[in-house]
Amino acid sequence: MPITRDTPDTLFRAMRLAIGQLPDKQQESASILVDLLRAVLDYRGEFFCDLQLFDSSVATFLASARTADKVGLYTTWMRIACRDAALNMYHFGIALEELRQRYGEVTSWRNKDIAKVLRAVNNEFQKTFPASKYVRHAVGHAVELFSTAEKRKVNAVKGYGMYFYNVVGNTFSMTINGKVETLELSKATYCKLHEYMVRIFDAFEPIASAAVDSQSRPN
């Protein structure tokens, strides 16, 4: 029985079924893996919501009268979307890394093809979004980055100072460790996250399908 990536709930039901077919000592590790798969789905979806909020805020800003209160409101919405997107991007990457590291703990599910996909997706994410962890840290510790003269010196960009929630076009910038780190809120960014999710779900599909087939097979 094929389990498609277009019906994630079906995939997760089948993966839960697969957990129940494992030896008891592997079930907790398998449950963690499935929760990590769910995290990949959820953080990808939340990034998409951030993108929608950002685009809607920009569109409303451009279409509205440029009064001071309106400008402040819509630009704040943009920054909120950027801040949340930075967190979701970071957690998406952490979920990928944890999947790669923990996959081998479920010995009954070990498969070279799955391991290869997890390794490739992790490497591609890190190469495509190398600033994700730095933007997240800058967002999570924004005030701490300049709260003393020494911290300001360490984190500011020489000749430019500090960037906080700076938005130019669809690029969000923060200053940390003497560098400007950026995150692009765009459909292209979302599509990469979606691509990574699809590849991982496709890799786990044989496990889910085998569990469903095993249950439906006559005793």
Which tens digit of pLDDT belongs to each residue from 143-199? Answer: 999 899 999 999 999 887 888 888 899 999 999 999 999 999 999 999 999 999 999
Higher pLDDT among residues 61 and 82, named by residue: 82
**What's the pLDDT score for residue 216?**
66
Spatial distance between the Cα atoms of 206 and 204, rounded to a whole number of angstroms: 6
Radius of gyration of the chain (CA): 21
pLDDT value of residue 218:
60
By percentage, how much of the chain surpasses pLDDT 70? 95
Encoded amino acid at 121, one letter: V
Residue 88: pLDDT over 70: yes
The string of pLDDT tens digits covering residues 98-131 is: 999 999 999 999 999 999 999 999 999 999 999 9
pLDDT band with cut points at 50, 70 and 90 for residue 16: very high
Cβ-contact 164, 174 below 8 angstroms: yes
* Distance, C-alpha 61 to centroid of its chain: 27
Instruction: Output the pLDDT for position 69.
Output: 75
Q: What is the pLDDT of residue 75?
A: 87
Query: What band does 48 get if pLDDT is binned at 50, 70 and 90?
Result: very high
Do the beta carbons of residue 171 and residue 78 sit within 8 Å?
Answer: no
Q: 54: closest CA among 87, 84, 81?
A: 81
- Helix spans in the chain (H): 8-20, 24-63, 68-102, 112-128, 132-140, 149-155, 187-216
Q: What is the dihedral of CA 169, 172, 176, 181, to 10 degrees?
A: -70
* pTM given for the model: 0.91
